[in-house]
């Protein structure tokens, strides 16, 4: 880390060394429950941001600016959560939804087969000969 004067920005007191920063991050996460409650999680994220500021900018960085960075961080977290949700939906739709829709199609064909003859079933679903048995065999 460059311990000299940072060009173009004011120094805000001493900065945490890499080692001290890493030590404090480990301490921050030590002893947490596997799934912390929302309040604890938010408190940890805020403390993590403060440690990053202490490490990168200095321990005397103004509180009102820390608060402003925290507000930004919270807004970004919300967007990140939505992005993850959209990615998850995309993942589900490509795998889970395809399996579910195939299963539903097999069920539909099997149910129609109770009413229609084999020839009618093939014509109705535009199936090749023996294609229905392939659909049904993949049912599990």
Question: Using one digit for the tens of pLDDT, what is the confidence trace for 28-81?
Answer: 999 888 899 999 999 999 999 999 989 988 899 889 888 989 988 888 887 776
Rounded CA separation 95/110 (Å): 23
Residues 62 and 105 in one domain: no
Termini Cα distance of the chain: 58
pLDDT for 46 equals 97
Residues 22 and 68 in one domain: yes
Residues 75 and 112 in one domain: no
Residues 27 and 62 in one domain: yes
Domain presence at residue 51: yes
Count the domains in the chain.
2
Quick count: other Cβ atoms within 10 Å of Cβ 117?
9
Range of the domain at 103: 96-137
Q: What is the mean pLDDT of residues 4-17?
A: 69
Q: Is the Cβ–Cβ distance between 15 and 56 less than 8 Å? A: yes
């Amino acid at each position: 880390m460059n311990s000299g004067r940072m060009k173009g920005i004011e120094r805000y007191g001493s900065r945490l060394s890499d080692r001290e920063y890493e030590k404090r991050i480990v301490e921050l996460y030590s002893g947490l429950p596997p799934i912390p409650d929302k309040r604890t999680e938010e408190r940890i994220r805020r403390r993590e941001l403060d440690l990053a500021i202490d490490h990168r900018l200095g321990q005397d960085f103004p509180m009102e600016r820390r608060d402003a960075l925290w507000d930004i961080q919270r807004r970004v977290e919300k967007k990140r959560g939505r992005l993850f949700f959209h990615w998850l939906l995309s993942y589900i739709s490509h795998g889970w939804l395809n399996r579910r829709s195939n299963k539903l199609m097999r069920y539909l064909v099997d149910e129609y087969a109770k009413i229609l003859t084999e020839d009618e079933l093939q014509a109705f679903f535009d199936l090749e000969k023996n294609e229905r048995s392939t659909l049904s065999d993949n049912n599990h």
